[in-house]
Amino acid sequence: MYPYFKIFYPLNDYILYFCIMKNVQEFTNIPTNRFFLLAGPCAIEGEEMALRIAEQLVTICDKLEIPLVFKGSFKKANRSRIDSFTGIGDEKALKILQKVKQTHGIPTVTDIHQTEDAAKAAEFVDVLQIPAFLVRQTDLVVAAAVTGKVVNLKKGQFMSPESMQHAVRKVHDAGNPHAWLTDRGTMFGYQDMVVDFRGVPTMKQFGPTILDVTHSLQQPNQSSGVTGGRPELIETMARAGIAAGVDGLFMETHFDPKNAKSDGANMLPLELAKGLLSRLARLKEAVSAL
């Protein structure tokens, strides 16, 4: 992989990259014709599946020079039904994320739901993600920030892009300058999500901005208690994000979405990742040349 991990993003008049070396964050100048990628399964289902997905993503991203953060939830706390899959055990899943990092030399990201999750997860991963439903929870955001890890703040489905500056401020005021913002759509009625791309330039004023492609295509609140989705629109949504100027993309992917234990209905089939990311890399180069 890379001698250190690079994340590319423009911030105001600066062109920066992010290096993760243990808990050290450094920034310097680099080209702007790349986006970074947060990708992996919705949930960690086991070691073999996580390493298998990571290996394929690393191979693709190395070839395309796309900086990769491997994503996997160590615990799924926000389930519609009580009988839904929530995880294989916190420590077991976190150790799998750590093994992915050690095996492939890439950083990892996981979401947290309770304040005590922050310090626990920070021992194993590089980026702590705040779920959209919880991004206004001050104690949770601050707990993530004080670990010194990068904090990825998902925009609440009920929040305006402008209001995300306050979530970022909580991270900064806790002494952590490393906050990312991720748009995952806004609720449209009860069972649909819509992305307002006017929010991209707004949120980029506050920090590196990511589009969560797959969650933006969710169809939540189904009567069955299982979230639906529109995965056939993944490429359309990702292309729109690149054209709008996002710094990074977030996608959940699995080699067998139909049998994934969480959010399979809106995942990218892993077999399609190479072609999609190749096209998106070319689109990013074209957009950056304008």
User: pLDDT (tens digit, 9 = 90+) per residue, 129-182?
Assistant: 999 999 999 999 999 999 999 999 999 999 999 999 999 999 999 999 999 999
Q: What percent of the chain is modeled with pLDDT above 70?
A: 86
Phi-psi category of residue 17: left, alpha or beta, with phi > 0 → left and psi -120 to 50 → alpha? beta
Q: Which residue has the tokens 């750590």?
A: 98
In 3D space, the residue among 265, 261, 222 whose CA is nearest the CA of residue 85 turns out to be 261
Contact indicator for 64, 278 with CB cutoff of 8 Å: yes
Residue 247 is given by DSSP the state S
Residues with Cβ < 8 Å from 98, sequence gap 6 or more?
108, 124, 125
pLDDT at 7 over 60: no
As a whole number of angstroms, the longest Cα–Cα distance in the chain is: 50
Determine the Cα–Cα distance for residues 193 and 133; give it in Å rounded to an integer: 14
Domain 36-288: assigned CATH number: 3.20.20.70
User: pLDDT category, 25, cuts 50, 70, 90?
Assistant: very low
pLDDT at 83 over 70: yes
- Torsion, Cα 275 277 280 286, to 10 degrees, reads -90
- Domain segments of the chain as ranges: 36-288
pLDDT single digits (tens) 96-140? 999 999 999 889 999 999 999 999 999 999 999 999 999 999 999
pLDDT single digits (tens) 198-254? 999 999 999 999 999 999 998 775 655 556 778 899 999 999 999 999 999 999 999
Task: Show the tokens assigned to 114.
Answer: 């309770």
Q: Which residues pair with 127 in a beta bridge?
A: 109, 150
- For residue 62, give the amino acid letter: D
pLDDT at 23 over 80: no
Triad 132, 215, 235: Cα angle to 5°: 145
